[in-house]
Amino acid sequence: MGNLAIIPARGGSKRIPRKNIKDFCGQPIIAYSIKAAIASGIFDDIMVSTDDPEIAAISVQYGATVPFLRSAENANDFATTAAVLTEVLENYSAAGKTYQYACCIYPTAPFVTAQKLKDAYALLKNRNFDSVLTIQPFSFPIQRAFYKEQDTVKWVAPEYALTRSQDLPKTFHDVGQFYFFNAGNFLTSKQLITANSGAIEVNELEAQDIDNETDWKLAEMKFRLMNP
């Protein structure tokens, strides 16, 4: 048993080529996830799931292990995170190693810290959650959102058209940094977020979705503000 950190980092990124090892403020971006996992001191093993030899070599350089390469089936554009994690856990099990808890830490999550991982782990155990993830509040109430038909805007929820923003409950979204989860429960449900999931809230400076070059630049600006 024990705890396993899984960093899923395939080589075939399309929108930002070689995204998982691209330089981010002086280091390959995957290095931040590896170093946070190591600094937390809560993992028995820290592994990178990849199909790419260069990513594997850089991961080992920064202290992770790559005990096996990811299958071609789970390295294509359609593979889900759940499928990748299942493959990892089943490969370890076949080798005689099982884990009570595992944490999927994304390779492009430079805002992950050792403290956040420790806080999530404590919450997971103390509340007996299936999983714990990082979330951030929407900057504007989603209850007052519009959709667009040609040039006309329409309320998504017309019943809130006259409700003051400050009177609406706060809503949140997943920031895609990590999922700390009960490994056995996950292998049964194949779901990272269930009706029994908890969350760690982060502010706007502690997260940035990175899907294109503009996102990358914004993330670097935030990172430098957080780490002067």
- The enclosing domain of 130 has a CATH number of 3.90.550.10
Cβ atoms of residues 132 and 199 within 8 Å: yes
What is the C-alpha to C-alpha distance for residues 46 and 66, in angstroms, rounded to an integer?
Answer: 9
Residue 112 in any domain: the answer is: yes
Residue 155 in any domain: the answer is: no
The predicted structure's pLDDT at residue 12 = 83
The predicted structure's pLDDT at residue 73 = 93
Residue 157 in any domain: the answer is: no
The predicted structure's pLDDT at residue 210 = 94
Closest CA to 104 of 202, 4, 26: 4
In Å, how far from its chain's centre is CA 39?
A: 17
Domain count, the chain: 1
Instruction: Please give the residue range of the domain that contains residue 204.
Output: 3-134+174-226
Q: How is residue 125 written in tokens?
A: 């155990």
Cβ atoms of residues 134 and 175 within 8 Å: yes
Strand partners, 148: 153
The predicted structure's pLDDT at residue 8 = 97
Based on the number of CB atoms within 10 Å of its own CB, is 209 exposed (0-12), middle (13-18) or buried (19 or more)? Answer: middle
For residue 54, what are the contacts with CB-CB under 8 A and spacing of at least 6?
Answer: 11, 21
Residue 22 in any domain: the answer is: yes
Residue 149 in any domain: the answer is: no
Residue 117 in any domain: the answer is: yes
Residue 217 in any domain: the answer is: yes
For residue 122, what are the contacts with CB-CB under 8 A and spacing of at least 6?
Answer: none
What is the C-alpha to C-alpha distance for residues 106 and 33, in angstroms, rounded to an integer?
Answer: 7
Closest CA to 43 of 118, 108, 95, 97: 118
What is the SS3 assignment for 179? Answer: strand
Per-residue b/e over 76-89, b at no fewer than 16 CB within 10 Å? eeebebeebbebbb
Cβ atoms of residues 171 and 142 within 8 Å: yes
- The tens place of each residue's pLDDT in the chain, 228 residues long, gives 899 999 999 998 888 999 999 999 999 999 999 999 999 999 999 999 999 999 999 999 999 999 999 999 999 888 999 999 999 999 999 999 999 999 999 999 999 999 999 999 999 999 999 999 999 999 999 999 999 999 999 999 999 999 999 999 999 999 999 999 999 999 999 999 999 999 999 999 999 999 999 999 999 999 999 998
Alpha helices in the chain (DSSP H): 29-40, 53-61, 81-94, 114-126, 183-189, 213-226
Residue 163 in any domain: the answer is: no
The predicted structure's pLDDT at residue 107 = 97
